[in-house]
Chains A and B, each alone.
Chain A
Amino acid sequence: MRLQIEDVLCTFCGCLCDDIKVEVNEGRIERVRGACRLGSSKIMGHNRIKSPMIRVNGTLKETSYEDAYRKAAEILVSAKHPLLYGWASTTCEALKKGIILAEEIGGVVDTTATVCHGPSIIGIEEKGLVGSTLGQIKNRADLIVFWGCNPSEAHPRHTLRYSSNASGRFIPEGRKDRKVLVIDVRETRTARNADRFLRIQPGTDYEIISALRMIIGGKAESLPEDVAGVSKKELIEIAEMMKSAKFGAIFFGLGLTHSRGRYKNVDNALSLVSELNSHTKFVIMAMRGHYNVTGAGQVLAWSSGYPMAVDYARGAPYYNPGETSCCDLLSRRDVDAALIIASDPASNLPRGCVEALAEMPVIQIDPFENPTTLFADVVIPSAIAGIEVEGTAYRMDGLSLRLRKLVDAEYPGDVEILQAILDNVRRLRDDN
Protein backbone atom coordinates (compact mmCIF):
# COMPACT_ATOMS: atom_id res chain seq x y z
CA MET A 1 0.00 0.00 0.00
CA ARG A 2 1.25 3.46 -0.93
CA LEU A 3 1.04 6.19 1.73
CA GLN A 4 1.78 9.89 1.58
CA ILE A 5 2.75 11.22 4.99
CA GLU A 6 2.72 14.99 5.38
CA ASP A 7 4.30 17.27 7.99
CA VAL A 8 6.96 14.78 8.94
CA LEU A 9 9.74 16.02 11.22
CA CYS A 10 13.32 15.69 10.08
CA THR A 11 15.47 14.21 12.82
CA PHE A 12 18.85 15.33 11.65
CA CYS A 13 19.77 18.82 12.78
CA GLY A 14 18.50 21.23 15.43
CA CYS A 15 16.15 22.91 12.91
CA LEU A 16 13.77 19.94 13.30
CA CYS A 17 12.03 20.93 10.05
CA ASP A 18 8.40 19.83 10.40
CA ASP A 19 7.18 20.17 6.82
CA ILE A 20 8.72 17.12 5.16
CA LYS A 21 6.66 14.83 2.92
CA VAL A 22 7.46 11.14 2.89
CA GLU A 23 6.15 8.47 0.51
CA VAL A 24 5.87 5.02 2.02
CA ASN A 25 5.26 1.94 -0.11
CA GLU A 26 4.82 -1.56 1.35
CA GLY A 27 6.25 -0.37 4.66
CA ARG A 28 9.37 1.14 3.06
CA ILE A 29 10.27 4.79 2.58
CA GLU A 30 10.48 5.42 -1.14
CA ARG A 31 10.70 9.15 -1.46
CA VAL A 32 11.39 12.22 0.67
CA ARG A 33 10.33 15.67 -0.41
CA GLY A 34 11.20 19.01 1.13
CA ALA A 35 14.18 17.92 3.22
CA CYS A 36 17.71 19.13 2.54
CA ARG A 37 20.52 16.82 1.47
CA LEU A 38 21.36 15.99 5.08
CA GLY A 39 17.79 15.26 6.08
CA SER A 40 16.98 13.19 2.99
CA SER A 41 20.05 11.03 3.44
CA LYS A 42 18.92 10.26 6.98
CA ILE A 43 15.24 9.66 6.24
CA MET A 44 15.90 7.53 3.15
CA GLY A 45 18.12 5.33 5.29
CA HIS A 46 21.07 3.14 4.47
CA ASN A 47 23.08 0.19 5.78
CA ARG A 48 21.89 -0.95 9.19
CA ILE A 49 23.54 -3.07 11.82
CA LYS A 50 21.70 -6.34 11.22
CA SER A 51 21.93 -8.17 14.49
CA PRO A 52 23.16 -7.71 18.05
CA MET A 53 26.83 -8.63 18.39
CA ILE A 54 29.26 -9.51 21.17
CA ARG A 55 33.04 -9.41 20.77
CA VAL A 56 34.64 -12.82 21.21
CA ASN A 57 38.46 -13.11 20.92
CA GLY A 58 38.66 -9.73 19.22
CA THR A 59 35.89 -10.31 16.67
CA LEU A 60 32.25 -9.23 16.80
CA LYS A 61 29.95 -12.29 16.62
CA GLU A 62 26.20 -12.17 16.04
CA THR A 63 24.08 -13.03 19.03
CA SER A 64 20.52 -12.69 20.33
CA TYR A 65 19.07 -9.56 21.89
CA GLU A 66 18.72 -11.40 25.22
CA ASP A 67 22.40 -12.30 25.30
CA ALA A 68 23.40 -8.78 24.31
CA TYR A 69 21.24 -7.26 27.07
CA ARG A 70 22.68 -9.66 29.63
CA LYS A 71 26.27 -8.99 28.57
CA ALA A 72 25.64 -5.21 28.62
CA ALA A 73 24.21 -5.47 32.13
CA GLU A 74 27.20 -7.54 33.30
CA ILE A 75 29.60 -4.88 32.00
CA LEU A 76 27.68 -2.07 33.68
CA VAL A 77 27.24 -3.86 37.01
CA SER A 78 30.91 -4.81 37.27
CA ALA A 79 32.14 -1.32 36.38
CA LYS A 80 33.08 1.03 39.21
CA HIS A 81 32.27 4.21 37.31
CA PRO A 82 30.56 3.72 33.94
CA LEU A 83 29.95 6.50 31.40
CA LEU A 84 26.59 6.69 29.60
CA TYR A 85 27.30 8.97 26.66
CA GLY A 86 25.53 10.33 23.60
CA TRP A 87 21.75 10.91 23.65
CA ALA A 88 21.65 13.78 21.15
CA SER A 89 20.16 11.71 18.32
CA THR A 90 17.46 9.93 20.24
CA THR A 91 14.27 10.88 22.05
CA CYS A 92 13.75 12.52 25.44
CA GLU A 93 12.01 9.31 26.55
CA ALA A 94 15.19 7.31 25.91
CA LEU A 95 17.25 9.67 28.03
CA LYS A 96 14.69 9.48 30.84
CA LYS A 97 15.25 5.73 30.90
CA GLY A 98 19.03 6.22 30.69
CA ILE A 99 19.00 8.46 33.76
CA ILE A 100 17.25 5.77 35.81
CA LEU A 101 19.88 3.27 34.67
CA ALA A 102 22.71 5.70 35.56
CA GLU A 103 21.25 6.29 39.02
CA GLU A 104 21.08 2.56 39.69
CA ILE A 105 24.62 1.81 38.58
CA GLY A 106 26.27 5.02 39.83
CA GLY A 107 27.29 6.16 36.38
CA VAL A 108 27.85 9.46 34.62
CA VAL A 109 25.39 10.69 32.01
CA ASP A 110 26.96 13.02 29.49
CA THR A 111 25.59 14.25 26.19
CA THR A 112 27.37 15.20 22.99
CA ALA A 113 26.71 18.82 24.01
CA THR A 114 29.93 18.87 26.02
CA VAL A 115 31.91 18.78 22.76
CA CYS A 116 29.44 21.02 20.93
CA HIS A 117 27.45 23.77 22.64
CA GLY A 118 28.31 22.69 26.21
CA PRO A 119 30.36 25.86 26.70
CA SER A 120 27.37 27.87 25.46
CA ILE A 121 25.24 26.32 28.19
CA ILE A 122 27.89 27.20 30.78
CA GLY A 123 27.96 30.76 29.42
CA ILE A 124 24.15 30.94 29.60
CA GLU A 125 24.19 29.64 33.19
CA GLU A 126 26.58 32.45 34.10
CA LYS A 127 24.96 35.30 32.21
CA GLY A 128 21.38 34.48 31.29
CA LEU A 129 20.07 34.60 27.76
CA VAL A 130 18.01 37.11 25.83
CA GLY A 131 16.29 34.50 23.74
CA SER A 132 13.31 34.02 21.47
CA THR A 133 11.68 31.38 19.33
CA LEU A 134 12.68 30.83 15.73
CA GLY A 135 9.18 32.02 14.79
CA GLN A 136 9.77 35.44 16.38
CA ILE A 137 13.01 35.81 14.44
CA LYS A 138 11.39 34.74 11.19
CA ASN A 139 8.54 37.21 11.65
CA ARG A 140 10.46 40.17 13.02
CA ALA A 141 14.24 40.20 12.63
CA ASP A 142 15.59 42.73 10.13
CA LEU A 143 19.21 41.97 11.00
CA ILE A 144 20.54 38.44 11.16
CA VAL A 145 24.07 37.86 12.42
CA PHE A 146 25.74 34.50 11.91
CA TRP A 147 28.75 34.37 14.22
CA GLY A 148 31.09 31.41 13.88
CA CYS A 149 28.43 29.28 12.25
CA ASN A 150 27.78 28.16 8.71
CA PRO A 151 24.11 27.20 8.27
CA SER A 152 24.57 26.78 4.50
CA GLU A 153 26.36 23.53 5.29
CA ALA A 154 25.37 22.58 8.84
CA HIS A 155 21.67 23.64 8.91
CA PRO A 156 20.83 23.93 5.21
CA ARG A 157 17.15 24.98 5.56
CA HIS A 158 17.66 27.33 8.49
CA THR A 159 18.05 30.41 6.31
CA LEU A 160 14.95 29.64 4.26
CA ARG A 161 12.67 28.60 7.11
CA TYR A 162 13.69 30.79 10.02
CA SER A 163 16.37 33.37 9.31
CA SER A 164 18.00 35.34 6.49
CA ASN A 165 15.86 34.22 3.55
CA ALA A 166 12.54 33.56 5.30
CA SER A 167 9.59 35.87 4.76
CA GLY A 168 7.65 36.68 7.91
CA ARG A 169 4.74 38.68 9.27
CA PHE A 170 6.70 41.94 9.42
CA ILE A 171 9.35 40.93 6.90
CA PRO A 172 7.17 40.31 3.83
CA GLU A 173 9.97 40.56 1.30
CA GLY A 174 12.20 38.04 3.09
CA ARG A 175 15.86 38.47 2.22
CA LYS A 176 15.24 41.95 0.76
CA ASP A 177 13.87 43.20 4.08
CA ARG A 178 16.78 41.90 6.12
CA LYS A 179 20.48 42.64 6.46
CA VAL A 180 22.79 39.70 6.97
CA LEU A 181 26.13 40.00 8.75
CA VAL A 182 28.55 37.09 8.96
CA ILE A 183 31.48 37.07 11.38
CA ASP A 184 33.88 34.18 10.85
CA VAL A 185 37.51 33.26 10.40
CA ARG A 186 36.96 31.94 6.88
CA GLU A 187 34.71 32.97 4.03
CA THR A 188 32.11 30.23 4.18
CA ARG A 189 29.17 29.67 1.84
CA THR A 190 27.07 31.55 4.38
CA ALA A 191 29.53 34.46 4.27
CA ARG A 192 29.34 34.65 0.48
CA ASN A 193 25.60 35.33 0.70
CA ALA A 194 25.87 38.03 3.36
CA ASP A 195 25.50 41.78 3.01
CA ARG A 196 28.58 42.15 5.10
CA PHE A 197 31.32 39.73 6.05
CA LEU A 198 33.72 40.49 8.88
CA ARG A 199 36.72 38.19 8.79
CA ILE A 200 38.45 37.84 12.13
CA GLN A 201 41.59 35.99 13.25
CA PRO A 202 41.12 32.57 14.88
CA GLY A 203 40.78 32.82 18.66
CA THR A 204 40.01 36.55 18.74
CA ASP A 205 36.20 36.42 19.15
CA TYR A 206 36.48 37.58 22.75
CA GLU A 207 38.48 40.69 21.82
CA ILE A 208 36.13 41.56 18.96
CA ILE A 209 33.04 41.16 21.15
CA SER A 210 34.64 43.28 23.86
CA ALA A 211 35.47 46.01 21.34
CA LEU A 212 31.88 46.03 20.06
CA ARG A 213 30.63 46.24 23.64
CA MET A 214 32.86 49.26 24.24
CA ILE A 215 31.60 51.03 21.13
CA ILE A 216 27.98 50.28 22.00
CA GLY A 217 28.63 51.46 25.55
CA GLY A 218 29.93 54.81 24.22
CA LYS A 219 33.60 54.12 24.97
CA ALA A 220 34.90 53.99 21.39
CA GLU A 221 37.53 56.67 22.09
CA SER A 222 39.39 54.28 24.42
CA LEU A 223 39.81 51.65 21.70
CA PRO A 224 43.05 51.27 19.76
CA GLU A 225 42.93 51.81 15.98
CA ASP A 226 43.28 48.10 15.44
CA VAL A 227 41.66 45.32 17.51
CA ALA A 228 43.04 41.83 16.82
CA GLY A 229 43.62 42.77 13.18
CA VAL A 230 40.26 44.52 12.61
CA SER A 231 40.20 48.30 12.17
CA LYS A 232 38.32 50.43 14.66
CA LYS A 233 36.47 52.03 11.73
CA GLU A 234 35.10 48.66 10.64
CA LEU A 235 34.08 47.76 14.19
CA ILE A 236 32.23 51.07 14.54
CA GLU A 237 30.34 50.33 11.31
CA ILE A 238 29.42 46.87 12.57
CA ALA A 239 28.25 48.27 15.91
CA GLU A 240 26.14 50.86 14.05
CA MET A 241 24.64 48.12 11.90
CA MET A 242 23.61 46.27 15.08
CA LYS A 243 22.26 49.33 16.88
CA SER A 244 20.24 50.51 13.90
CA ALA A 245 18.39 47.20 13.53
CA LYS A 246 14.76 47.15 14.68
CA PHE A 247 15.07 43.52 15.76
CA GLY A 248 18.45 41.86 15.58
CA ALA A 249 19.21 38.17 16.05
CA ILE A 250 22.61 36.60 16.55
CA PHE A 251 22.99 32.93 15.74
CA PHE A 252 26.27 31.58 17.02
CA GLY A 253 28.03 28.33 16.34
CA LEU A 254 31.02 26.27 17.29
CA GLY A 255 33.27 29.09 16.10
CA LEU A 256 32.77 30.51 19.57
CA THR A 257 32.76 27.33 21.65
CA HIS A 258 35.57 25.38 19.94
CA SER A 259 38.16 28.13 19.97
CA ARG A 260 40.18 30.03 22.54
CA GLY A 261 37.94 31.46 25.22
CA ARG A 262 35.31 28.72 24.86
CA TYR A 263 32.42 29.51 27.24
CA LYS A 264 33.83 32.96 27.97
CA ASN A 265 33.27 33.89 24.30
CA VAL A 266 29.62 32.95 24.68
CA ASP A 267 29.35 34.71 28.03
CA ASN A 268 30.72 37.88 26.38
CA ALA A 269 28.36 37.56 23.39
CA LEU A 270 25.41 37.27 25.77
CA SER A 271 26.53 40.49 27.48
CA LEU A 272 26.82 42.20 24.09
CA VAL A 273 23.22 41.23 23.33
CA SER A 274 21.93 42.35 26.70
CA GLU A 275 23.67 45.74 26.18
CA LEU A 276 22.26 46.05 22.66
CA ASN A 277 18.84 45.86 24.28
CA SER A 278 19.45 49.34 25.75
CA HIS A 279 19.26 50.59 22.16
CA THR A 280 17.00 48.19 20.28
CA LYS A 281 15.60 44.66 20.42
CA PHE A 282 18.22 41.95 20.09
CA VAL A 283 18.14 38.20 20.72
CA ILE A 284 20.71 35.42 20.54
CA MET A 285 20.50 31.68 19.88
CA ALA A 286 22.92 28.75 19.72
CA MET A 287 22.87 26.80 16.46
CA ARG A 288 22.35 23.39 18.02
CA GLY A 289 23.61 20.55 15.85
CA HIS A 290 21.96 17.19 16.48
CA TYR A 291 18.21 17.19 16.34
CA ASN A 292 17.56 16.51 20.02
CA VAL A 293 20.71 17.73 21.72
CA THR A 294 18.57 20.52 23.17
CA GLY A 295 16.05 17.99 24.52
CA ALA A 296 18.81 15.90 26.07
CA GLY A 297 19.90 18.97 28.04
CA GLN A 298 16.31 19.70 29.04
CA VAL A 299 15.61 16.19 30.33
CA LEU A 300 18.83 16.13 32.35
CA ALA A 301 18.12 19.60 33.71
CA TRP A 302 14.63 18.80 34.89
CA SER A 303 15.68 15.41 36.31
CA SER A 304 18.92 16.33 38.05
CA GLY A 305 19.13 20.11 38.00
CA TYR A 306 22.11 20.02 35.62
CA PRO A 307 22.15 20.17 31.81
CA MET A 308 24.96 17.70 30.96
CA ALA A 309 27.90 15.82 32.50
CA VAL A 310 25.92 14.57 35.52
CA ASP A 311 27.68 12.08 37.77
CA TYR A 312 25.44 9.80 39.86
CA ALA A 313 28.32 7.95 41.59
CA ARG A 314 27.80 9.82 44.86
CA GLY A 315 24.15 8.82 45.10
CA ALA A 316 23.04 12.36 44.27
CA PRO A 317 23.60 14.24 41.01
CA TYR A 318 26.98 15.97 40.83
CA TYR A 319 28.01 18.27 38.00
CA ASN A 320 31.34 19.85 37.22
CA PRO A 321 32.22 20.33 33.54
CA GLY A 322 35.95 19.81 33.14
CA GLU A 323 35.70 16.96 35.65
CA THR A 324 32.49 15.04 34.93
CA SER A 325 32.44 15.68 31.16
CA CYS A 326 33.13 12.85 28.76
CA CYS A 327 36.41 14.10 27.33
CA ASP A 328 37.92 14.77 30.76
CA LEU A 329 36.68 11.50 32.25
CA LEU A 330 38.23 9.54 29.39
CA SER A 331 41.53 11.38 29.23
CA ARG A 332 41.95 11.02 33.01
CA ARG A 333 40.91 7.34 32.81
CA ASP A 334 38.23 8.13 35.38
CA VAL A 335 35.62 5.78 33.91
CA ASP A 336 36.01 2.05 33.37
CA ALA A 337 33.16 1.13 31.00
CA ALA A 338 30.99 3.03 28.56
CA LEU A 339 27.48 2.77 27.16
CA ILE A 340 27.41 4.76 23.94
CA ILE A 341 24.01 5.56 22.50
CA ALA A 342 22.97 7.57 19.44
CA SER A 343 26.43 9.05 18.96
CA ASP A 344 29.91 8.24 17.70
CA PRO A 345 32.61 9.37 20.10
CA ALA A 346 35.31 7.45 18.20
CA SER A 347 34.92 9.96 15.35
CA ASN A 348 34.11 13.03 17.36
CA LEU A 349 36.51 13.04 20.30
CA PRO A 350 40.24 13.79 20.29
CA ARG A 351 42.45 10.80 19.64
CA GLY A 352 43.60 10.60 23.27
CA CYS A 353 40.01 10.05 24.41
CA VAL A 354 39.35 7.46 21.71
CA GLU A 355 42.38 5.48 22.91
CA ALA A 356 40.98 5.49 26.43
CA LEU A 357 37.62 4.29 25.13
CA ALA A 358 39.29 1.47 23.23
CA GLU A 359 40.83 0.20 26.48
CA MET A 360 37.52 -0.31 28.31
CA PRO A 361 34.42 -2.43 27.69
CA VAL A 362 32.06 -0.50 25.40
CA ILE A 363 28.36 -1.11 24.77
CA GLN A 364 27.01 0.57 21.65
CA ILE A 365 23.32 1.17 20.92
CA ASP A 366 22.82 2.56 17.42
CA PRO A 367 20.98 1.83 14.18
CA PHE A 368 24.19 2.26 12.16
CA GLU A 369 27.74 1.01 12.18
CA ASN A 370 30.31 3.75 12.78
CA PRO A 371 33.92 3.94 14.00
CA THR A 372 32.76 3.41 17.61
CA THR A 373 31.60 -0.06 16.49
CA LEU A 374 35.26 -0.90 15.83
CA PHE A 375 35.89 -0.67 19.60
CA ALA A 376 32.54 -1.90 20.89
CA ASP A 377 32.27 -5.16 22.85
CA VAL A 378 28.48 -5.31 22.73
CA VAL A 379 26.58 -3.85 19.77
CA ILE A 380 22.81 -3.48 19.97
CA PRO A 381 21.02 -2.30 16.83
CA SER A 382 18.05 0.00 17.45
CA ALA A 383 15.08 1.45 15.61
CA ILE A 384 15.40 5.02 14.29
CA ALA A 385 13.49 7.56 16.35
CA GLY A 386 11.17 9.75 14.31
CA ILE A 387 11.08 7.16 11.53
CA GLU A 388 10.45 3.82 13.21
CA VAL A 389 9.47 4.90 16.73
CA GLU A 390 7.71 7.94 18.14
CA GLY A 391 8.89 10.23 20.88
CA THR A 392 9.70 13.80 21.84
CA ALA A 393 12.50 16.07 20.65
CA TYR A 394 13.37 19.73 21.25
CA ARG A 395 14.15 22.16 18.45
CA MET A 396 17.16 24.46 18.81
CA ASP A 397 14.98 27.23 20.27
CA GLY A 398 13.67 24.97 23.04
CA LEU A 399 10.32 24.14 21.47
CA SER A 400 9.32 20.53 22.10
CA LEU A 401 7.89 18.61 19.16
CA ARG A 402 6.37 15.18 18.79
CA LEU A 403 8.11 12.72 16.48
CA ARG A 404 5.90 10.25 14.66
CA LYS A 405 6.43 6.70 13.59
CA LEU A 406 6.39 6.38 9.78
CA VAL A 407 7.16 2.72 9.21
CA ASP A 408 7.35 -0.46 11.28
CA ALA A 409 10.72 -1.37 12.69
CA GLU A 410 12.52 -4.70 12.64
CA TYR A 411 14.45 -3.48 15.68
CA PRO A 412 13.52 -2.49 19.23
CA GLY A 413 13.57 1.23 20.09
CA ASP A 414 16.09 2.82 22.44
CA VAL A 415 13.58 2.95 25.33
CA GLU A 416 12.88 -0.76 25.03
CA ILE A 417 16.59 -1.61 24.83
CA LEU A 418 17.47 0.51 27.88
CA GLN A 419 14.57 -0.99 29.85
CA ALA A 420 15.79 -4.49 29.01
CA ILE A 421 19.33 -3.65 30.13
CA LEU A 422 17.91 -2.12 33.31
CA ASP A 423 15.86 -5.28 34.00
CA ASN A 424 19.00 -7.37 33.56
CA VAL A 425 20.98 -5.06 35.86
CA ARG A 426 18.30 -5.45 38.55
CA ARG A 427 18.23 -9.21 38.11
CA LEU A 428 22.02 -9.45 38.43
CA ARG A 429 21.92 -7.31 41.53
CA ASP A 430 19.22 -9.55 43.09
CA ASP A 431 21.29 -12.63 42.35
CA ASN A 432 24.24 -11.12 44.19
Chain B
Amino acid sequence: MAVMISGRTLAQGAGCEDKMSPLYINEVSCCYLSEEDYRALGLSDGMNLLLTSPHGSAVLRAGVDRGLPQGMVFIPMGPWANMLTGTDTKGCGMPGFKGVEVEVTPTDEKVLDIRELMLRGR
Protein backbone atom coordinates (compact mmCIF):
# COMPACT_ATOMS: atom_id res chain seq x y z
CA MET B 1 0.00 0.00 0.00
CA ALA B 2 1.34 3.45 -0.90
CA VAL B 3 0.12 7.03 -0.93
CA MET B 4 -0.27 8.55 -4.41
CA ILE B 5 0.47 12.21 -5.01
CA SER B 6 -0.04 13.87 -8.40
CA GLY B 7 1.48 17.16 -9.49
CA ARG B 8 3.12 19.19 -12.20
CA THR B 9 6.48 18.46 -13.81
CA LEU B 10 8.47 20.34 -16.44
CA ALA B 11 7.80 17.81 -19.19
CA GLN B 12 4.12 17.61 -18.26
CA GLY B 13 3.96 21.38 -18.52
CA ALA B 14 5.88 21.55 -21.79
CA GLY B 15 3.42 19.07 -23.31
CA CYS B 16 0.38 20.55 -21.61
CA GLU B 17 -1.02 22.25 -24.71
CA ASP B 18 0.12 19.41 -26.98
CA LYS B 19 -1.50 16.58 -25.12
CA MET B 20 -1.62 14.06 -27.94
CA SER B 21 2.19 14.29 -28.30
CA PRO B 22 4.48 11.45 -27.17
CA LEU B 23 6.31 13.94 -24.89
CA TYR B 24 3.20 14.57 -22.81
CA ILE B 25 1.87 11.03 -22.90
CA ASN B 26 5.20 9.47 -21.85
CA GLU B 27 5.51 11.87 -18.97
CA VAL B 28 2.03 11.50 -17.53
CA SER B 29 1.97 7.70 -17.85
CA CYS B 30 4.96 7.28 -15.55
CA CYS B 31 4.77 6.46 -11.85
CA TYR B 32 7.75 7.53 -9.75
CA LEU B 33 8.85 5.67 -6.63
CA SER B 34 11.61 6.09 -4.05
CA GLU B 35 14.84 4.17 -4.73
CA GLU B 36 14.09 1.84 -1.82
CA ASP B 37 10.58 0.98 -3.03
CA TYR B 38 11.82 0.58 -6.62
CA ARG B 39 14.41 -1.93 -5.45
CA ALA B 40 12.05 -3.69 -3.05
CA LEU B 41 9.60 -4.32 -5.89
CA GLY B 42 12.46 -5.75 -8.00
CA LEU B 43 11.94 -3.17 -10.77
CA SER B 44 14.32 -2.33 -13.59
CA ASP B 45 14.28 -0.20 -16.74
CA GLY B 46 11.22 -0.62 -18.93
CA MET B 47 9.10 -2.37 -16.30
CA ASN B 48 5.51 -1.45 -15.65
CA LEU B 49 3.35 -1.13 -12.58
CA LEU B 50 -0.32 -1.84 -12.00
CA LEU B 51 -1.76 0.76 -9.66
CA THR B 52 -5.12 0.13 -8.04
CA SER B 53 -7.03 2.54 -5.85
CA PRO B 54 -10.57 2.34 -4.48
CA HIS B 55 -11.60 4.38 -7.55
CA GLY B 56 -9.91 2.59 -10.43
CA SER B 57 -6.72 1.14 -11.85
CA ALA B 58 -4.10 1.86 -14.50
CA VAL B 59 -0.82 0.49 -15.85
CA LEU B 60 2.10 2.94 -15.79
CA ARG B 61 5.82 2.85 -16.45
CA ALA B 62 8.00 2.78 -13.34
CA GLY B 63 10.60 5.45 -12.61
CA VAL B 64 12.75 6.56 -9.68
CA ASP B 65 12.53 9.94 -7.96
CA ARG B 66 15.13 10.31 -5.24
CA GLY B 67 13.12 13.07 -3.57
CA LEU B 68 10.32 10.67 -2.63
CA PRO B 69 10.13 8.99 0.76
CA GLN B 70 9.30 5.28 0.98
CA GLY B 71 5.62 4.47 0.72
CA MET B 72 4.83 7.42 -1.57
CA VAL B 73 4.39 7.36 -5.35
CA PHE B 74 4.26 10.41 -7.59
CA ILE B 75 2.41 10.62 -10.92
CA PRO B 76 2.57 13.78 -13.07
CA MET B 77 -0.98 15.16 -13.22
CA GLY B 78 -2.97 13.91 -16.19
CA PRO B 79 -5.29 11.14 -17.38
CA TRP B 80 -3.29 8.29 -15.80
CA ALA B 81 -3.22 9.77 -12.30
CA ASN B 82 -6.91 10.56 -12.71
CA MET B 83 -7.78 6.91 -13.34
CA LEU B 84 -7.02 6.49 -9.64
CA THR B 85 -8.73 9.54 -8.13
CA GLY B 86 -12.28 9.67 -6.81
CA THR B 87 -14.97 12.24 -7.52
CA ASP B 88 -15.83 13.14 -3.91
CA THR B 89 -15.04 16.81 -3.34
CA LYS B 90 -15.99 16.91 0.35
CA GLY B 91 -18.38 19.71 -0.46
CA CYS B 92 -15.86 22.19 -1.82
CA GLY B 93 -15.53 21.32 -5.50
CA MET B 94 -12.06 19.80 -5.26
CA PRO B 95 -11.48 16.06 -5.66
CA GLY B 96 -8.58 14.48 -3.73
CA PHE B 97 -5.72 14.50 -6.22
CA LYS B 98 -3.15 13.97 -3.49
CA GLY B 99 -3.09 11.40 -0.72
CA VAL B 100 -4.90 8.58 -2.57
CA GLU B 101 -4.18 5.12 -1.17
CA VAL B 102 -2.99 2.79 -3.92
CA GLU B 103 -1.85 -0.82 -4.29
CA VAL B 104 1.33 -1.00 -6.40
CA THR B 105 2.37 -4.24 -8.12
CA PRO B 106 4.77 -4.98 -11.00
CA THR B 107 2.94 -6.18 -14.09
CA ASP B 108 3.59 -7.49 -17.61
CA GLU B 109 0.59 -5.58 -18.93
CA LYS B 110 1.37 -2.76 -21.34
CA VAL B 111 0.74 0.94 -20.83
CA LEU B 112 -2.31 1.86 -22.89
CA ASP B 113 -2.20 4.42 -25.66
CA ILE B 114 -4.03 7.66 -24.75
CA ARG B 115 -7.00 6.79 -26.97
CA GLU B 116 -7.29 3.28 -25.55
CA LEU B 117 -7.05 4.66 -22.03
CA MET B 118 -9.65 7.36 -22.50
CA LEU B 119 -12.09 5.16 -24.36
CA ARG B 120 -11.52 2.13 -22.08
CA GLY B 121 -14.79 0.41 -21.27
CA ARG B 122 -16.67 2.41 -23.87
Contacts and interface: CB of A to CB of B under 8 A. Distances in A.
Nearest to B28: A347
Interface in A77-125: 89, 114-115, 118-119, 122
B55 A350 contact: yes
Contacts of A203: 98-99
A358 B10 contact: no
A262 B119 CA distance: 31
Contact of B118 (A118, A187, A263, A346): A346
A262 B93 CA distance: 10
A368 interface: yes
Given A352-B87, A368-B19, A38 B13 contact: yes
Given A254-B7, A348-B82, A350-B55, A369 B94 contact: no
B113 to A, nearest CB: 11
A240 interface: no
Interface residues of B, number: 52
A41 B14 contact: yes
Given A154-B8, A347-B82, A186 B65 contact: yes
B99 A260 contact: yes
B65 A263 contact: no
Nearest to B115: A374
Contact of B94 (A46, A119, A189, A368): A119
Closest 8 CB pairs of A and B: A325-B93, A187-B67, A322-B91, A331-B87, A321-B93, A370-B19, A114-B93, A352-B87
28 contacts: A12-B13, A115-B93, A119-B93, A122-B93, A150-B8, A153-B13, A185-B72, A186-B68, A188-B67, A189-B67, A255-B7, A258-B6, A258-B94, A258-B96, A258-B97, A259-B96, A260-B96, A262-B90, A263-B92, A289-B8, A321-B91, A322-B91, A327-B89, A346-B118, A348-B82, A351-B84, A370-B17, A374-B115
Given A150-B8, A262-B90, A351-B83, 4 more contacts: A12-B16, A38-B10, A153-B13, A262-B94
Interface of A: 12-13, 37-38, 41-42, 46-47, 89, 114-115, 118-119, 122, 150, 153-154, 156, 185-189, 191-192, 199, 202-203, 254-255, 257-260, 262-263, 289, 308-309, 321-322, 325-328, 330-331, 344, 346-354, 358, 367-371, 374-375
